[in-house]
Amino acid sequence: MEIVHTPVLLNECLEYLSPVGEPFEADALMIDSTLGEGGHTYNFLKNYPSLSIIGLDADKVIQARAKERLSEFGERVHFYNGWFQDFYADYPSEYKRPNIILFDLGISVFHYEKSERGFSFRYDEKLDMRLNSSEGESAADLVNELPEEKLADLIYLYGEEKLSRRIARAIVEARNGGRIESSKALAEVIWNAVPANYRYGPIHPATRTFQALRIAVNGELKRLPKALHDAFGCLQPGGKMGVITFHSLEDRIVKNYFRNLGKQCVCPPEVAVCRCGGEQCAELITRKPVAPTDKEVKENSPSRSAKLRVIRKIKDDTPYHLDGVIGF
């Protein structure tokens, strides 16, 4: 089987999330919250022979590829097909609590190159972008049905695109002549909408709009805060949780959540007197995010914007609230 995706920050994950030493028992359990083609899981299972892993993925197509790749590990690996926030919100009673949790929030290269769901503006594909293609609105639904103002807001908020109003206006004008159904058609609308000097910048002018649509279609930022919170709640005290992010919006959520867990007092701002006892819930293992080496970026360009943050859980009964954090 041809493997399309190269796992990012692999060596760093193996080091920072190692199940070796105190307080880890011999039969540690790890959850790969974003299994993809199984690159991180494969290497953890290879390097740590007593480790077991549960691999989660909302996309049953890519999970089938991972099952084939990981078949040599037998009962050491289990699979869950569904969204990670659903898994952690109702953690299955048949599993013990995990010692390690990994989130790799990037979209697999497989989806851009092989899924034929319109993730990439380089191909002429049906404009879908859903990881689970059996539920929710597609990218085409949003492009063709959202009012201009809401479409512009979406592109600006999730894509941080400064020309969002101009692009949204062009999309609405184009769809008046018929639905925009393909990734190539949408990319051409965006290309023609932006000034000539914007077309030849460091990235394709459609990059941020496509990112925004993908994030909206899959609810990526809406799912993340509660998923992190519930995952941390499932984690064994002494266990470690690592998150790899790829853009500033998701990294900001992770950074703020980890920072609050690492505070001496984690009561909400409106509480005048500390009620949590002033004990930290977690230790920040990475005070600053871990970035890929120049060598990795050269060999695997999708890693260039990756950041890894890792915490260790100190105790249960996390008093930190999510009020005001889920702003998407």
Query: Which residues participate in the annotated binding site for S-adenosyl-L-methionine?
Result: 38-40, 57, 84, 104, 111
Contacts of residue 21, defined as CB under 8 A and 6 or more positions apart, other chains included, come to none
Q: Smallest Cα–Cα separation from 139: which of 250, 216, 42?
A: 216
Q: Which residue has the tokens 């609050």?
A: 260
287: its two tokens = 């005070």
Coil, strand, or helix at residue 45? helix
Binding site feature residues: 38-40, 57, 84, 104, 111
For 141, phi and psi rounded to 5 degrees? Answer: -60, -45
Q: Which residue has the tokens 């996309």?
A: 59
What's the one-letter identity of residue 29? L
What's the one-letter identity of residue 281? C
Cα–Cα distance list, 164 to 33, 188, 204, 258 (Å) = 32, 15, 14, 31
What's the one-letter identity of residue 195? P
Q: H/E element holding 167?
A: helix 164-175
Strands (E), 208-321: 240-245, 282-284, 307-313
Q: DSSP letter at 58?
A: S
Coil, strand, or helix at residue 275? coil
